[in-house]
């Protein structure tokens, strides 16, 4: 029987590259940083396996494989020094969001 774990997603960094925004975005630097997330936002993925309400669809698509792996007991060691965790970001090169995704271990 496969054990399915809950995971916690925490926003750990929010960036904005003004040079890239000026060169490539139709709104330029006025576009600003991602309006959806703030550093410190946390989301718990439990039994339901869908993006949390209001979560960016593109970011969810980008981090889905990590959430899926950790929910199913997988890990990313030896590349990360915390078992059952991974740092990943969305693919928006101009205004990326970095997430810490952690498996919530079940209590004995």
For residue range 29-70, what is the model confidence (pLDDT) as tens digits? Answer: 999 999 999 999 999 998 778 899 999 999 999 999 999 999
Q: Do residues 70 and 43 touch, judged by C-beta distance below 8 A?
A: no
CA 9, 64, 50, 38 torsion: positive or negative? positive
On whether the pTM is more than 0.85, the answer is yes
Give the pLDDT of residue 82. 87
Find residue 42's DSSP bridge partners. Answer: 10
Which residues are registered as beta bridge partners of 97?
14
* Contacts for 39 with CB less than 8 Å, ≥ 6 apart: 11, 12, 13, 14
Listed in sequence order, the residues at least 6 apart from 24 whose beta carbon sits closer than 8 Å to its beta carbon are: 94
């Amino acid at each position: 029987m496969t054990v399915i774990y809950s995971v916690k997603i925490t926003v750990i960094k929010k960036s904005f590259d003004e040079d890239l925004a000026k060169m490539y975005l139709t709104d330029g630097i006025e576009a600003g940083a991602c309006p959806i997330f703030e550093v410190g936002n946390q989301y718990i993925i439990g039994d339901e396996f869908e993006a949390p309400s209001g979560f960016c669809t593109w970011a969810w698509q980008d981090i889905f494989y990590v959430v899926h792996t950790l929910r199913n007991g997988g890990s990313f060691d030896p590349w990360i020094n915390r078992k059952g965790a991974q740092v990943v970001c969305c693919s928006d090169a101009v205004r990326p969001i970095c997430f810490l995704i952690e498996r919530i271990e079940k209590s004995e």
